[in-house]
Amino acid sequence: MSILRGKHILLGISAGIAAYKTAFLVRLFVKAGAEVRVIMTPSAKEFITPLTLSTLSNHPVLTDFTDEEDDNAVWNNHVELGLWADLFVIAPATANTLSKMASGNSDNFLIATYLSAKCPVYFAPAMDLDMYKHPTTQKSLETLQSHGNILIPSTFGELASGLVGMGRMAEPESIVETIEQHLLEGLPLYGKKILVTAGPTYEAIDPVRYIGNHSSGRMGFEIANTAAQLGAEVILITGPTHYKAHYDSIQTIPITSARDMHDVAHQNFDAVDAAILSAAVADYRPKFPALSKIKKKAASLTLELEKTEDILASLGEKKEKQILIGFALETENEVANAIKKLKAKNLDLIVLNSLNDDGAGFGGSTNKISIIDKDLNQKNYPLKSKSEVASDIINELINRIHA
Ligand code: CTP
């Protein structure tokens, strides 16, 4: 899933030949899951039709302060549009538009909206090479960047005039990539690697039977998705579940048993900044799993069980710089037991859910947690959706990961 998903993107098109490429740009934004609205300067309509862009963006294209074709002219509110936008992309940005943006000369709807916008503004210049080199244009580029706008640099190549030089608008794919990268770099977990365990483990009795539990894996997947949404690279080690991770930055490693989860967690632990162990790992496994299916002969069957590896405790022993977060599912003496686990397993945070709370724990879409840190500060949260609970946990991590 792209970081642009769900974002409101305002695309401002000024009058340059590169305007024809904005059809592809709108398409890419929409494909990434963004909602796009288009503003054109009056002369930009000479280069690409508003009909093309309104069809691709699914919204009317705005050019003027009033809707000229309507007898009962409607006022197009540049302030509202500026506030609606999560990001404003001006592409192509001609020398004229750059100069007006730099000086605040708001004689058209695009510039008025630019001056009203509070969101990040990206601009992709496009013009002939001598216009590009001109000190006035260079000054506009400098001024605009000093005002916090983000330049998507022009490229070198053949220009509409037939001349070769700087001034080609960046290709639509590259505009999208630049914006995605810029947004990612601004996220609180950008550059951080986080290991998450999720789901149940299945411990083989024979080739067709196992000991398992009712964990759906949902909490762990919500945690992985939230961390990825906030910029982290995630290694998600999961037991059997039907959930799928939403982001390319989540590497999902499916496992079946506690032993496999233990081994994969240890292989990856050195490289991560934090680990959140939400899996419901089986505490015991059959000591001698049968190699072929057990036939029902005797009236009763006794299975000898042995302890599985305690993954959380073993990572706690090994940990150096990592922030280690565990879960505690308790039914009595909840806080005291959670604190005992926090200390015994050398954790930085423990997330306590009590099975005595309605709506907490396995299966459902909600959870009710308390988070206790190693200094024994405790935060109690109300019943929330598992995705909100994931945000609460990740926020506590963010507070510590940069500290
Ligand atoms: N955990 C683990 N490996 C295990 C068992 C548990 O990594 N073999 C992790 C879980 O992912 C969770 C935490 O340990 O983060 C607590 O699990 P829980 O079952 O509540 O605690 P246990 O330590 O198993 O203790 P008990 O069952 O006795 O309460």
Same domain, 211 and 163: no
Residue 279 lies in a domain: yes
The residue out of 185, 212, 238 marking a domain boundary is 185
Residue 165 three-state SS: strand
Tell me the pLDDT tens digit for each residue of 281-320: 999 999 999 999 999 988 999 999 999 999 999 999 999 9
pLDDT at 364 over 70: yes
Residue 68 lies in a domain: yes
Same domain, 56 and 131: yes
Predicted local confidence at residue 76, as pLDDT: 76
Same domain, 151 and 217: no
User: Is 312 a pocket residue for ligand 1 (Cβ < 6 Å)?
Assistant: yes
The identity of residue 181, as a single letter, is Q
Residue 2 lies in a domain: no
For the chain, the helix, strand and coil percentages under 3-state DSSP, each to the nearest 5: 35, 25, 40
The residue whose two tokens read 């309605």 is 358
Same domain, 284 and 373: yes
Radius of gyration of the chain (CA): 28
Same domain, 172 and 197: no
The domain that holds 299 is classified in CATH as 3.40.50.10300
In ligand 1, which atom is closest to the CA atom of 315? 7
In this prediction, residue 366 has a pLDDT band, given cuts at 50, 70 and 90, of confident
Predicted local confidence at residue 77, as pLDDT: 78
Same domain, 131 and 70: yes
Domain that holds residue 316: 193-401
In ligand 1, which atom is closest to the CA atom of 312? 7
Same domain, 48 and 122: yes
The residue out of 160, 185, 210 marking a domain boundary is 185
Query: Are β-strands 233-238 and 193-198 bridged in parallel, bridged antiparallel, or unpaired?
Result: parallel
Tell me the pLDDT tens digit for each residue of 158-202: 998 898 999 999 999 999 999 999 999 999 999 999 999 999 999
Residue 199 has φ and ψ, to the nearest 5°, of 80, -175
Q: Measure Cα distances from 216 to 312, 313, 329 in Å.
A: 19, 23, 15
Same domain, 170 and 226: no
Residue 328 has φ and ψ, to the nearest 5°, of -135, 120
Same domain, 175 and 28: yes
Q: Looking at the 3D structure of the chain, how many domains does it have?
A: 2
Q: Once rounded to an integer, what is the mean pLDDT over residues 108-135?
A: 96
Tell me the pLDDT tens digit for each residue of 58-86: 999 999 887 766 566 677 777 888 899 99
Same domain, 148 and 223: no
Residue 280 lies in a domain: yes
Residue of the CA atom closest to atom 4 of ligand 1 = 310
Annotation marks residue 72 as catalytic = no
How far apart, in Å, do the first and last CA atoms of the chain sit? 29
Same domain, 309 and 388: yes
DSSP for 254-288, written as a single string: E--SHHHHHHHHHHHHTT-SEEEE--B--SEEESS
Same domain, 229 and 365: yes
The residue out of 150, 185, 220 marking a domain boundary is 185
Predicted local confidence at residue 68, as pLDDT: 61
Q: Which percentage of the chain shows pLDDT scores above 70?
A: 97
The domain that holds 158 is classified in CATH as 3.40.50.1950
Residue 123 has φ and ψ, to the nearest 5°, of -135, 140
Residue 3 lies in a domain: no
Mutation probe of ligand 1 site: the residue of 257, 312, 325, 339 with most atoms within 8 A of C-beta: 312
pLDDT at 258 over 90: yes
- Long-range CB contact pairs, 242-248, < 8 A, 24+: 243/198, 243/199, 243/216, 243/217, 243/218, 245/221, 246/1, 247/1, 248/1
Nearest to residue 345, comparing CAs of 327, 371, 362?
Answer: 327
Q: Which of 72, 96, 105, 213 is catalytic?
A: 213
Least confident span in 126-130, 274-278, 398-402: 398-402
In ligand 1, which atom is closest to the CA atom of 307? 8
The identity of residue 387, as a single letter, is S
